[in-house]
């Protein structure tokens, strides 16, 4: 009977360890996903900003320096 109790205790400890490892792994995956989403959002924002700046620059009147010479 004592062996059965010991075995049950070991099984319970192993299950606890496994579950805590799963929790840690899930936290890592969630953190990695959040970082990827943040990088993607920043990339999209930068792309939009560069596009907007390019359009703003294109709308500026041309240099009159060519006409002066």
Each residue's pLDDT tens digit in the chain (69 positions)? 788 899 999 999 999 999 999 999 999 999 999 999 999 999 999 999 999 999 999 887 775 555 555
Altogether, the residues listed in the chain come to a count of 69
- Cα 69 to Cα 65: distance, rounded to the nearest angstrom: 7
Q: How far, in Å, are 11, 51, 58, 66 from residue 63 at the CA level?
A: 79, 21, 12, 7
CA distance 23 to 34: 16
pTM of the model: 0.57
Cα 3 vs. chain centroid, distance in angstroms? 48
């Amino acid at each position: 009977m004592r062996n059965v109790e010991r075995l049950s205790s070991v099984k319970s400890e192993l299950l606890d360890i496994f579950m805590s490892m799963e929790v840690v792994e899930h936290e890592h995956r969630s953190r990695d996903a959040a970082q990827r989403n943040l990088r993607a959002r920043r990339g999209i924002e930068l792309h939009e900003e560069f596009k907007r700046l390019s359009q703003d620059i294109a709308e500026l009147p041309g240099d009159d320096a060519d006409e002066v010479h």
